[in-house]
């Protein structure tokens, strides 16, 4: 990573990742997933608004290292417009390749992948 711990995309996403608003209108369809734990160093909560079987809004809360925060923020941007039952067909490691997450941190991304899979499972019932 050219001598830097975090590339510019990770720094940009980390610095811009604040808590998402949680106001929801009645009648809206939201998928929700949560995985990990603060005590283990990585926790993610994701909410996806669905209209016509596609993601129209993505909100999250995350606790973890800058790579975990940036990967969650990146995912929230990448799933917009995707079908609710196929949010991440390429897998989290490939989706987050632009973040240059080091191999020793890829396990942290599995928490994010678990959250996405929870949302996809819910989508089959929507």
Predicted confidence (pLDDT) per residue in 51-75, tens digit: 999 999 999 999 999 999 999 999 9
The answer to whether 114 and 122 have CB atoms below 8 angstroms apart is: no
* 52, part of any domain: yes
Helix (H, G, I), strand (E, B) or coil at 29: strand
Number of domains in the chain: 1
What does the alpha-carbon distance between residue 126 and residue 68 come to, in Å, rounded to a whole number? 29
Tokens coding 121: 């499972």
* 112, part of any domain: yes
What does the alpha-carbon distance between residue 69 and residue 84 come to, in Å, rounded to a whole number? 22
* 46, part of any domain: yes
* 15, part of any domain: yes
Residues of the domain holding 116: 8-19+30-123
Instruction: Give the residue among 73, 67, 79, 76 at the shortest CA–CA distance from 105.
Output: 67
- Tell me: pLDDT of 1 over 50: no
* 24, part of any domain: no
* 3, part of any domain: no
* 25, part of any domain: no
The answer to whether 87 and 116 have CB atoms below 8 angstroms apart is: yes
CATH number at residue 53: 3.90.1010.10
- pLDDT for 22 equals 59
The DSSP code for 83 is B
Distance of alpha carbon 31 from the chain centroid: 13
């Amino acid at each position: 990573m050219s001598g830097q711990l975090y590339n510019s995309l990770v720094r940009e996403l980390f610095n811009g990742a604040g808590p998402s608003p949680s106001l929801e209108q009645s009648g809206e369809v939201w998928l929700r997933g949560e995985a990990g734990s603060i005590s283990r160093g990585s926790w993610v909560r994701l909410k996806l608004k669905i209209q016509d079987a596609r993601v129209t809004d993505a909100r999250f809360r995350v606790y973890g290292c800058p790579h975990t925060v940036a990967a969650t923020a990146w995912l929230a941007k990448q799933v917009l417009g995707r079908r609710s039952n196929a949010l991440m067909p390429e897998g989290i490691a490939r989706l987050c390749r632009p973040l240059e997450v080091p191999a020793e941190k890829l396990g942290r991304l599995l928490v994010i992948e678990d959250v996405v899979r929870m949302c996809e499972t819910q989508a089959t019932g929507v």
